[in-house]
Amino acid sequence: MPLGVIDVGSNTVRLLVTRRGREVVSAREMLRLGASVEHHGRITEDKLAETGAVVARLAAEARAAGAESLEILITSPGRQAENGDELLDTLARAGGCDARILTARDEGLLAFKGALAAGSPAYRRRVAVVDVGGGSAQIVVGSRRSGPEWVKSIDIGSQRLTSRLLSDDPPGRAAVAAGRAEVARYVEQLVPPQPALALAVGGSARALKRLAGTSRLGAEEFEELLELLAVTPIDVLVREHGADRDRVRTMAAGAVILAALERLVGVPLRVARAGLREGALLELGARRAAA
C-alpha cells in the first residue's frame, strides 16, 4: 500500500506519497511559518489555522491516493516556536494521524538516509549530506557502510536569514556580505570529517540548481549565484532566469548558507534528488513491515 508523509517546514508544507519507492502524489504549499516565528517568537493564530487547513487537505489527498500509513513531520517551526506544542496538536487533529516534532539530529539523519538511498554512493565512500531548510541547516557525514559518523545542526536557515538581513528586493551586495558574516559565526567552530562527496538536499538547493543550470555547486558557482541574487530584482529573476517565484525571496539566503557549508565540507555540493521526506518514508515503511 502507498505510504505518505507531510513535511511541515519553515518555508513550505509538502506532501509526498510513494508506492514501492515510486512517487504517487507530490504537493506543496508555501506558508512561511518561519517568518511568523522570527517576527513574533511564535506561530500566530491565523497561521495555525491556515496550516491546519492545508494539512487537512493534503492528508485527504494522501488518503485518496490510497495511503493508509500517513505521518506528519514538523521540523524547525516546532522546535523554535514558543507554541510548538500547540502547532503539533493542531496538525495531528487536522491530519487525523500521528505527528511529531523532529529534533535537529533526527531531521539530519532522515535527510542522510534519503539522500544515500537515492544516490547509492560507493559503500565505503564518506559522504556529507547538507540540508538547508527555512529555519535551520543540518550537516551529516558518514557512509552507507558505517552510517552517520558526525551530525551537526546550525540554528539558521533561509527564511530566518532573509528576515534578519536579506529582505530587500534586491538585497544588495552589502546585505549579502552581512549575511555571509552572520552565517560564518554559526559554522566557525564546526570541524567535520573530510568527505569524498557532498550532497545537498532541500528546496534551496533545488532552486539554486535550476538557477545555475547545473547540479554541481562549487565555490565558483556560488560566487556567480550570489552576485546575481544580490543585485537582481525578484521579477527579473523569475522572468529572465526561470527562478521559482515561491522560492525566490529566500534564495539569496539559501545560497549564502549553502556556500558556507560547501566551504566547510571542502568539496563541491551535488544537488541530490531525495532527502528528508524520502528518508522518512523509508523509516515508515520499515516500521510498518516490522509491525
Q: What is the pLDDT of residues 13-47, one digit of tens each?
A: 999 999 988 999 999 999 999 999 989 999 999 99
Q: Are strands 137-143 and 216-217 parallel, antiparallel or unpaired?
A: unpaired
Q: Is the pLDDT of residue 86 over 90?
A: yes
Averaged pLDDT for residues 108-117: 96
Q: Which fold has domain 3-102?
A: Nucleotidyltransferase; domain 5 (3.30.420)
51-55, 72-76, 217-221, 242-246: least confident range: 242-246
Find out whether 272 and 265 touch, Cβ atoms under 8 Å: no
Write out the H or E segment, with its range, that includes residue 122: none
Domain range summary for the chain, segments of one domain joined by +: 3-102, 105-271
What is d(CA 161, CA 165) in angstroms, rounded to the nearest whole number?
A: 6
Confidence of residue 184 (pLDDT cuts 50, 70, 90): very high
Helices (H), 102-250: 104-119, 158-165, 173-187, 203-212, 219-231, 234-241
What pLDDT, in 10s, does the model give residues 127-175?
999 999 999 999 999 999 999 999 999 999 999 999 999 999 999 999 9
63-71 mean pLDDT: 95
DSSP designation for 70: E
d(CA 251, CA 190): 24
Q: How far is CA 247 from CA 11, 26, 199, 255, in A?
A: 8, 17, 20, 12
Angle subtended by helix axes 219-231 and 173-187, to nearest 10: 140
- Return d(Cα 144, Cα 116) in angstroms, integer: 7
In the prediction, which pLDDT does 110 show?
98
Please report the pLDDT score of residue 27 as a whole number.
97
Across the chain, mean pLDDT equals 95
pLDDT at res. 120? 83
Q: What is the pLDDT of residue 244?
A: 87
pLDDT of residue 246: 84
Fill in the amino acid letter for 273: R
Determine the pLDDT at residue 126. Answer: 97
CA distance 21 to 87: 29
Element spanning 278, H or E = helix 276-290
Q: What is the pLDDT of residue 68?
A: 85
Counting residues of the chain whose pLDDT is more than 90, the rounded percentage is 92
According to the model, what pLDDT value does residue 21 have? 86
Q: Taking a C-beta distance cutoff of 8 angstroms, is the pair 261, 137 a contact?
A: yes
Which CATH number describes the domain made up of 105-271? Answer: 3.30.420.150
Residue 291's pLDDT is 72
Sign of CA dihedral 117, 121, 126, 131: negative
Q: Judge if 3-102 and 105-271 fold alike in CATH terms.
A: yes
Give the predicted TM-score (pTM) of the model.
Answer: 0.94
Helix H segments across 41-103?
A: 45-64, 76-80, 84-95
